[in-house]
A and B are shown apart, each in its own frame.
Chain A
Amino acid sequence: MNGPSRLDRAIEVALTLGVLASGVLLLAGLALGRTELLRWGIVLLMLTPVARVVVVTAGLFLERDWAFGLISLWILGVLGSSLWMAFA
């Protein structure tokens, strides 16, 4: 907890990319009045936490932290179930 670890850095990169890309789409969509850009910006924003959990799960397994890796995998499963129930 003293400072960011490699996994923290990887999560930060995933979140920053998601936030920046969705921010650009939302801004462009509002400025140009293009609803499809806004829709993609929202979808990308919703997927950002999923990407974060994927990175955390992969990172924990790579660090051989099996217990917390499994906990993270379980959370990913809950998100996957939600996606499946929403769009299947």
Chain B
Amino acid sequence: MHDPSSLLLVATGAATGLVGALLGLGGGVFLVPLLTLALGVPIRAAIAASLISVIATASASATVNLNRGLVNMRLGLVLEVATSVGGLAGGLTASLLTPHQLFLSFAVTLATMGVVMAARSGRRNVIADPDAEPGLLGGRIQEGETSYVYRVKRLPFGLVASLVAGAISGLLGLGGGIIKVPVLSSFCGIPIRVAAATSAFMIGVTAAASAFIYFSRGDVAVPLTAAVALGALPASLLGAHLSERVRARSLKVLMAVVLVVVAVRMGLEGL
């Protein structure tokens, strides 16, 4: 712990875990470029550390989100089926696309969702009538003294997005929240806080499925990964607590900015 590089890695894990828990992303989408571009970590070790860090963020933030009743577990389970199939499909089809094509298609997808998310940031995905029926996969959330109902819309679209998220997670070492949260919030009628909490609940499982493979191949650089995960654990708890205090619209705008920034970076990688 006295080694400055360990402290730097703990701080890096903490920063990405904080934002990851705040937005339900896991933080891998920031951690991989930070480790590779800023700290010179080899890409495989960075992806492996990212997957473990995503598990840390997802597990720690879920303890807070479950307690607040924000996780829609049934919706998460249904989408997780598509995500896990996507993970397998991603592994099988990875060789059909070049890395440049992968980066570019990912960049275009993210940029499009960032613009849509910003355009729809003013919309509220809740029904004011507390007696309204939420349906099989919908739910209720409490904001102060008021209870709101939300219903799941366009579930097939959410399933396809989860399939794609799983594939990208397997290919790039992310949890897939970068796709799930904006799709659930902007297209499937899920309030942003529920979308983020439900995504965080799912991505730990998505990341674990790939993490075992990386670990068995010896791609996990133990001290590096441990330092990053150690930073992510407490910061994720803080991020999950903070998400309650940030306005829903601010979360959506922050998410839109993150999507566009990541899209530009991915696009540059693909050129």
Residues of A with Cβ closer than 8 Å to B?
1-4, 7-9, 11-12, 15-16, 18-19, 22-23, 26-27, 29-31, 35, 38-39, 41-43, 45-50, 52-53, 56, 68, 71-72, 74-75, 78-79, 82-83, 85-87
Bound Cα distance A11, B71 (Å): 11
Which residues of the other chain, B, contact A45 by a CB distance below 8 angstroms?
A: 52, 55-56, 59, 229
Q: Are A86 and B215 in contact (CB under 8 A)?
A: yes
A-B pairs, 8 with minimum CB distance? A1-B139, A86-B216, A86-B212, A49-B204, A38-B226, A78-B84, A49-B208, A82-B209
Bound Cα distance A19, B216 (Å): 21
Q: Which of B39-47, B73-81, B100-108, B252-260 contacts A (4 or more CB under 8 A)?
A: B73-81
* B230 and chain A: residue at smallest CB distance: A26
Bound Cα distance A78, B84 (Å): 7
Q: Chain B: interface secondary structure? A: helix
Q: Chain A: interface secondary structure? A: helix
* B208 and chain A: residue at smallest CB distance: A49
Given that A18-B59, A49-B55 are contacting pairs, would A78 and B209 also be in contact in the complex, using a CB cutoff of 8 Å?
Answer: yes
Q: Are B226 and A26 in contact (CB under 8 A)?
A: yes
- Apart from A19-B233, A86-B213, what are 6 other A-B pairs with CB-CB below 8 Å? A26-B229, A38-B226, A48-B59, A49-B59, A52-B62, A52-B204
Minimum distance in angstroms from A49 CB to a CB of chain B: 4
Bound Cα distance A83, B212 (Å): 6
Given that A42-B220, A45-B52 are contacting pairs, would A79 and B205 also be in contact in the complex, using a CB cutoff of 8 Å?
Answer: yes
Q: Which of B140-148, B181-189, B241-249, B261-269 contacts A (4 or more CB under 8 A)?
A: B140-148
Count residues of chain B with CB under 8 A from any CB of chain A.
54
Which residues of the other chain, B, contact A68 by a CB distance below 8 angstroms?
A: 74, 77
Q: Are A42 and B215 in contact (CB under 8 A)?
A: yes
